[in-house]
Amino acid sequence: MVSVDDFRRKAAEAIADARMQGALERATAKFREGRTRALAELPDADALRDHFKRVRAATLARLAEHLETFEQNALAAGAQVHWCETAEDAARLITALAAQHGARLAVKSKSMTTEEIHLNHALEAANVQPVETDLGEWIIQLAHEPPSHIIGPAIHKTREQVAALFSREVGRPLPPDDVGVLTAEARRLLREKFLAAGIGISGVNVAVAETGSVVLVTNEGNGRMVTSVPPVHVAVMGIEKIVPTWRDAAAWLALLARSATGQPMSIYTSVITGPARAEDPDGPREVHIVILDNGRSRALASPFEEALQCIRCGACLNVCPVYREAGGHAYGNPYSGPIGAIVAPLLFGVEAMSGLPQASTLCGACLDVCPARIDIPRMLLEWRAVEVERRLVPWYERVGERLAAWVLAHPRLLRLVRRLAATGQRLFLRDGQIRLPGRWHPAGERDLPALASRPFRDWWRENA
């Protein structure tokens, strides 16, 4: 549940946390600058984005067909394909796979989708220990926290906090100012996990229908370990993560890395097409691909279809002025920021996520940077209209808005209401603004403007 009040409360905590604010501001600034620079390097970034938007829209228009082609080709390559309608189906299936292979330890690589289906809880309940191997994911796992950014899950943590978490894990103090030592320790610890794991679980950045391949990008190389060291690899993908051809996948990957971190390409790009063949020196014996719906198909042919064009680059989060203050935890689900405010109501129900479409000033910065040019502000407006229709906004707001609209449509009435309000406000005037006593304050510290002593229309009558 994330109501307006829930969002407010968690955001206020983040705002009061100066360290978190500093970390958020630094990290998002770095990503923003990187993105701007990387896109400027392309000969025509805007044309590529237009092209990409068309590719995404065309793919979604024939989604079922592409998924079926993908399945056929993945099966032909020796992978096993599972279709899961709900989060529970998927979590149950993956836990069963782990049990079937007697896995006690599961290594994981960057996957918001497994967060979405609460896979770690399910695994733990079945006595399988999940270990996140993406550095950021591992940090927040050690801190027992949810991710706060789509691509930088630990974006809100300072180096000192990370050093403290790692020190606790290795049982001796590690220097906060030496990133080299910290990463070397992490690598050593995680290597042990890779070798001991019975199953590797990853997300999917993009799936390619023409060869039945799944593609995974990482910057740390943990992705290729997760998908090749354990005997079984499970890849979890939302139904929307698909392109027809490799040419389309190339556009996807070029825009993803540039929009996310400002890299021309991620450091590691792993392509998995079925399990290891007889002649392969290594690789998993079994590859399972989980195709997850979990509410996504409801968006098809709805005003929210565009949301499925998202490639989870996080660019919209980095520019979002609300996200930059509130941080990712305020969104109360794995998908934070502007796109999270659209996607979370889709996946978890707008009743449960009613606060998120309200957590925006509709400034449009997200639309400016999105590589797929997803019109997030327009969909926020759509969600708000749905919330009004389903009576998810408090009754006093509904009454207030309707009353206000009615008064505004009747100039004579407006004149009367205005006169009453102008008299009432005198009690609270200070320096021409209204300053309300502390706990009545609807706007926090902010002063409210006073009604003018004479409206414009009165001036006009005399000066026309």
Partner 1 sequence: MQRVALFVTCLVDQVMPEIGIATVRLLRAAGCEVVFPEAQTCCGQPFFNSGFRPEARRLAERTIAAFEPFDAVVAPSGSCTTMLRVEYPHLLGDRPGWAHRARELAAKTYELSEFLTQVLDWDPPRRVAGVRVAYHDSCHMCRLLGLREPPRDALRRAGYDLVEMQEPDRCCGFGGLFSVRMPEVSNAMTAEKLAQATDTGAHVLATADPGCLMQMRGLARERVRIEHIATLLAASLEA
Q: Of ligand SF4, partner 1, none, which one sits near residue 171, judging by CB under 5 to 8 A according to partner kind?
A: none
Q: Of ligand SF4, partner 1, none, which one sits near residue 300, judging by CB under 5 to 8 A according to partner kind?
A: none
According to CB under 8 A, which one of 64, 96, 301, 388 is a site residue for partner 1?
A: 388
Q: Of ligand SF4, partner 1, none, which one sits near residue 282, judging by CB under 5 to 8 A according to partner kind?
A: none
Shortest distance in whole angstroms from residue 275 CB to partner 1: 48
459 binds partner 1 (CB under 8 A): yes
Helices (H), 108-232: 112-116, 119-125, 135-142, 159-170, 179-196, 222-228
For the chain, the C-alpha Rg in angstroms (whole number) is 25
Q: Of partner 1, ligand SF4, none, which one sits near residue 441, judging by CB under 5 to 8 A according to partner kind?
A: partner 1
Total site size for partner 1, rule CB under 8 A: 61
Pairwise CA distance, residues 427 & 206, whole Å: 61
Of the candidates 119, 257, 123, 282, which has an alpha carbon nearest to the alpha carbon of residue 194? 282
Nearer to ligand SF4, 186 or 311 (CB): 311
**CA dist 111 → 11, 138, 204, 226, 369 (Å):** 25, 12, 7, 12, 23
Shortest distance in whole angstroms from residue 204 CB to partner 1: 33
Which tokens hold the place of 103?
């896995």
Q: Of partner 1, ligand SF4, none, which one sits near residue 310, judging by CB under 5 to 8 A according to partner kind?
A: ligand SF4
Does an H or E element contain 205, and which? none
Does an H or E element contain 291, and which? strand 286-292
Which tokens hold the place of 214?
């799944």
Burial 175-186 (b: 16+ CB within 10 A, else e): ebeeeeebeebb
Shortest distance in whole angstroms from residue 412 CB to partner 1: 11
401 binds partner 1 (CB under 8 A): yes
Nearer to ligand SF4, 95 or 360 (CB): 360
88 binds partner 1 (CB under 8 A): no
Instruction: Identify the three-state secondary structure at position 178.
Output: coil
According to CB under 8 A, which one of 201, 257, 317, 359 is a site residue for partner 1?
A: 359
Pairwise CA distance, residues 209 & 60, whole Å: 13
Q: Which DSSP string corresponds to 235-265? A: EEEETT-EESSHHHHHHHHHHHHHHHTS-SS
411 binds partner 1 (CB under 8 A): yes
414 binds partner 1 (CB under 8 A): yes
441 binds partner 1 (CB under 8 A): yes
Q: Of ligand SF4, partner 1, none, which one sits near residue 427, judging by CB under 5 to 8 A according to partner kind?
A: none
Shortest distance in whole angstroms from residue 224 CB to ligand SF4: 24
Nearer to partner 1, 102 or 442 (CB): 442
Name the burial class of residue 350, with classes exposed (0-12), middle (13-18) and buried (19+) by CB atoms within 10 angstroms of its CB.
middle
According to CB under 8 A, which one of 26, 121, 277, 457 is a site residue for partner 1?
A: 457
Query: Do 130 and 197 form a contact (C-beta atoms < 8 A)?
Result: no
Shortest distance in whole angstroms from residue 362 CB to ligand SF4: 15
Per the DSSP assignment, residues forming a β-bridge with 319 are none
365 binds partner 1 (CB under 8 A): yes
Which tokens hold the place of 358?
């309200």
Q: Of partner 1, ligand SF4, none, which one sits near residue 358, judging by CB under 5 to 8 A according to partner kind?
A: partner 1
Shortest distance in whole angstroms from residue 309 CB to partner 1: 19
Which tokens hold the place of 47?
């044309």
Shortest distance in whole angstroms from residue 369 CB to ligand SF4: 6
Of the candidates 113, 129, 119, which has an alpha carbon nearest to the alpha carbon of residue 91? 119
Nearer to ligand SF4, 13 or 382 (CB): 382
Query: Do 206 and 242 form a contact (C-beta atoms < 8 A)?
Result: yes
Which tokens hold the place of 262?
């400002």
Of residues 291-350, those binding partner 1 (CB under 8 A): 321-322, 325-326
Residues that bind ligand SF4 (CB under 6 A): 150, 259, 310-316, 339, 369-372, 374
Q: Of partner 1, ligand SF4, none, which one sits near residue 313, judging by CB under 5 to 8 A according to partner kind?
A: ligand SF4
Extended beta strands in 79-141, E state? 80-84, 105-109, 129-132
Q: Which DSSP string corresponds to 384-429? A: HHHHHHTT-S-HHHHHHHHHHHHHHT-HHHHHHHHHHHHHHGGGGE
17 binds partner 1 (CB under 8 A): no
Nearer to partner 1, 237 or 450 (CB): 450
Pairwise CA distance, residues 165 & 182, whole Å: 10
According to CB under 8 A, which one of 72, 100, 183, 433 is a site residue for partner 1?
A: 433
According to CB under 8 A, which one of 146, 221, 303, 364 is a site residue for partner 1?
A: 364
Which tokens hold the place of 291?
């195709």
418 binds partner 1 (CB under 8 A): yes
Give the interface with partner 1 as residue ranges (CB under 8 A).
4, 7-8, 11-12, 15, 321-322, 325-326, 358-365, 367-368, 381, 383-389, 393, 397, 401-402, 404-405, 408-409, 411, 414, 418, 431, 433, 441-452, 454-457, 459-460, 463-464
